[in-house]
Amino acid sequence: MKRQRRFSGVLQPWTDIWVRSGWRVQTHCGSALARALDPFGTTALTGTAEECVAHAARAARPAGCRRAVVLLHGLGHHPGGMARMAAALADTGWAVANIGYASLRLPLEQHARAASGVAAALAEDGAAEIAFVGHSLGGLVARAAMARAAQDGWRPGRLVLVGSPARGASLAQIAARIAAYRALTGSCGQTVTPAGAARVPLPECRGVAVIAGGTGGRGFNPLLPGDNDGIVTVEETRLPGREDAFTRVRALHTPLAASPSSIVSTMSFLESGRMAA
């Protein structure tokens, strides 16, 4: 059996569709091929998605958790960026699915369908409701996935958006004029623009928290208006009338989800519906 790297690179073609107790089932973005990976990242089976899910479900121990959370990385990134968040949540009794998805290769709708499928599997394993934490593009995927909850048969919990361009990023709108950006980022590169983000639904859930990166002043990128994390402005992360909690963390965009302050704030909101003081 072949050992896979723990976290694939930014151009990785695999998307997680089922996760439990370290086991995961992935589908390939360019074919009907699926594979089941054991907790060590070794390929235990390749075949159809149904065959691989059945194999993993037999092999994986039940998580035994009434609360579960799905973590989603950003555009062109991988689950490694959410690893510290995942470890902290697991240590406090959450069933955690830190999923990877082919963010540069498929449209948001397909990523949302896969993430909702992971949530449904966690519900089948005994979770009463499923929370979501999404970094950057992952926050938009989380919104769309949670909007599918009733359709896919699971109950949505709380949602934390970390540096997510809730209103779209002006920087992405500028970059979208460049052919190389469009070729590299595909459909999701358009989703993070203001026009693209406006089309992503806001789900009915137990509460929404926003974590923005910034300095509390002029921001990390002087070319962006107002405070910012270097890529997304604080104002672009906000959801007036819909957010239940907000905090600003002094961190750049890419490492924002790994910041200790972000992790503490996320855990506090998922537990209580309030950000830590």
Tally of domains within the chain: 2
Enumerate the β-bridge partners of residue 3. Answer: 42
- pLDDT (0 to 100) of residue 152: 96
Question: DSSP assignment of 28-54, as one string?
Answer: ETTSS-EEEE-TTSBEEEEE-HHHHHH
Quote the tokens at residue 161.
Answer: 């958006």
153 shares its domain with 247: yes
90 shares its domain with 19: no
- pLDDT (0 to 100) of residue 12: 79
Contact 253, 231 (CB under 8 A): yes
Q: Which strands make up the sheet holding 245-249, listed edge to edge?
A: 95-99, 67-72, 129-135, 156-162, 207-213, 245-249
Q: For 210-265, what is each residue's pLDDT tens digit?
A: 999 999 999 999 999 999 999 999 999 999 999 999 999 999 999 999 999 999 99
Rounded CA-CA distance 277/274 in Å is 9
- pLDDT (0 to 100) of residue 10: 58
Domain membership of residue 140 (yes or no) is: yes
Helix H or strand E segment including 266: helix 260-272
139 shares its domain with 267: yes
pLDDT below 70 — which residues of the chain? 1-11, 277
- pLDDT (0 to 100) of residue 252: 98
Domain membership of residue 50 (yes or no) is: yes
Domain membership of residue 2 (yes or no) is: no
Domain membership of residue 42 (yes or no) is: yes
Domain membership of residue 277 (yes or no) is: no
- pLDDT (0 to 100) of residue 30: 87
Structural domain range at position 50: 10-61
Rounded CA-CA distance 85/26 in Å is 22
Domain membership of residue 201 (yes or no) is: yes
pTM over 0.85: yes
Q: For 198-210, what is each residue's pLDDT tens digit?
A: 999 999 999 999 9
27 shares its domain with 147: no
Domain membership of residue 1 (yes or no) is: no
Phi, psi of 163 (to 5 degrees): 60, 30
123 shares its domain with 246: yes
39 shares its domain with 115: no
Rounded CA-CA distance 164/253 in Å is 9
111 shares its domain with 169: yes
Rounded CA-CA distance 125/115 in Å is 15
Q: How many Cβ atoms from other residues are within 10 Å of residue 235's Cβ?
A: 17
165 shares its domain with 184: yes
User: Which CATH number goes with the domain that contains 191?
Assistant: 3.40.50.1820
128 shares its domain with 222: yes
Contact 250, 215 (CB under 8 A): yes
- pLDDT (0 to 100) of residue 9: 56
118 shares its domain with 25: no
153 shares its domain with 32: no
Domain membership of residue 145 (yes or no) is: yes
118 shares its domain with 226: yes
